[in-house]
Amino acid sequence: MFDPYTESVLIFTGINIVLALGLYLPVSAGLLSLGQGGFMAIGAYTAAYLTTEMQWPFIVALLCGGAMAGLVGFVVGLPSLRIKGVYLVIMTMGFGEIVRVFFLNFEPTGAASGLGGIATHTTLPVVAMAVALTLLLCFQIRGSRIGRAIEAVREDELAAEVIGINLTYVKVAVFGLGAAIAGIGGGLYAHYATFIDPAQFGFQRSAEIFIMVVLGGMGNFVGAAIGAVVVTVLPELLRLGHAQEWRMTVFGALLVAIMIVRPWGLLGVRR
């Protein structure tokens, strides 16, 4: 249907939308994370290990990867009750580094030399399905009781607690859910890239996911999805013409320009 290049761009766009939505959820409750790359790595390694070494079916492995990342997310989310704002951003960044160093030393998954020979299970229909399900999930959450609780927590924690919202529950749940989605995104990524190593999930990856969400505008999940599309497609568009060599330079400059022109994100509204 598409030529291989277009297809790969589409698949990466889809995976990035899933990852961006995975960060959007905690962000919508005011929990910023610069460690999504870590959750992604956990999902990617778990799923890839299960399909290559254990010969588990892809879907089951993918979900296990998500569950594993979600479980770790719950644990990492617990301190977020006390640690706030920039402190939380840097703490999650530290978490991402710990995960990276862990896989760098973890022999069963190839340590520094990476895990290869992963079958290509992530096709365009699979990614499309994953994107659709994640979007549906975000849509459902927004209108639900917990969605409104999340909004209340973001706007004013104290007031939210006073009206009877269980802060611990909301924060930890939303952080864990975001981590689980990042883990599924990681599993999808692993089964498209066919080779993974810890360097692919470092700070740069976390920053990229962070950029998508803020760039799109943090007010709603459509913004996060659009941010993911921009961050994936823009560098590819810059391949056209003579800009090839300068494309990352131009991309960086465009990031600055977009934030100056739309300081609340592409879809964001001033509040």
Q: How many of the chain's residues bind other proteins (CB under 8 A)? A: 45
Query: Which tokens is 60 given?
Result: 């089951």
Closer of 128 and 253 to other proteins (Cβ):
253
Which one of the spans 10-18, 42-50, 140-148, 244-252 is the region binding other proteins (CB under 8 A)? 244-252
Distances (CA, A) of 114 to 22, 66, 87: 25, 20, 31
| Closest C-alpha to 127, from 36, 16, 213 | 16
Q: What share of the chain is helix, strand, coil (3-state, %, to 5)?
A: 75, 0, 20
* 32 near other proteins, rule: CB under 8 A: yes
Out of 8, 10, 56, 79, the residue judged to bind other proteins by CB under 8 A: 79
Interaction between residue 83 and other proteins (CB under 8 A) = yes
Dist. CA 43–CA 230, nearest whole Å: 24
CA 223 – CA 212 distance, rounded (Å)? 9
Q: If DSSP codes are grouped into helix, strand and coil, which group holds residue 181?
A: helix
The one among 72, 91, 170, 267 contacting other proteins by CB under 8 A = 91
Asked if 41 interacts with other proteins (CB under 8 A), we say no
Note whether 97 binds other proteins by CB under 8 A. yes
Contact 185, 171 (CB under 8 A): no
By the rule CB under 8 A, 204 interacts with other proteins: yes
Binding to other proteins by residue 82, rule CB under 8 A? yes
Nearest approach, Cβ of 271 to other proteins (angstroms)?
9
Interacting residue with other proteins among 6, 59, 75, 94 (CB under 8 A): 94
3-state secondary structure of 196: strand
Instruction: Count Cβ neighbours within 10 Å for each residue of 40-69 and write b for 16 or more, e otherwise.
Output: bbbbbbbbbbbbbeeeeebeebbbbbbebb
90 binds other proteins (CB under 8 A): yes
By the rule CB under 8 A, 105 interacts with other proteins: yes
* 214 part of the interface to other proteins, by CB under 8 A: yes
Cα(122)–Cα(120) distance, integer angstroms: 6
Is residue 240 at the binding interface for other proteins, with CB under 8 A as the rule?
no
Contacts of 121 (CB under 8 A, 6+ apart): 51, 58, 191
Helix (H) or strand (E) holding 207: helix 203-216
Residue among 54, 59, 75, 98 that touches other proteins (CB under 8 A): 98
Q: How far is the CB of 155 from other proteins (least distance, A)?
A: 12
Q: Minimum distance from CB of 19 to other proteins (Å)?
A: 16
Question: Segment contacting other proteins (CB under 8 A): 125-133, 172-180, 185-193, 260-268?
Answer: 260-268
Burial environment of residue 17 by CB neighbours within 10 A (0 to 12, 13 to 18, 19 or more): buried
| Among residues 12, 49, 192, 210, the one that binds other proteins under rule CB under 8 A | 210
Residues that bind other proteins (CB under 8 A): 32, 79, 82-87, 89-91, 93-95, 97-98, 101-102, 104-105, 202-204, 207, 210-211, 214-215, 218, 246, 248-249, 251-256, 259-260, 263-265, 268, 270
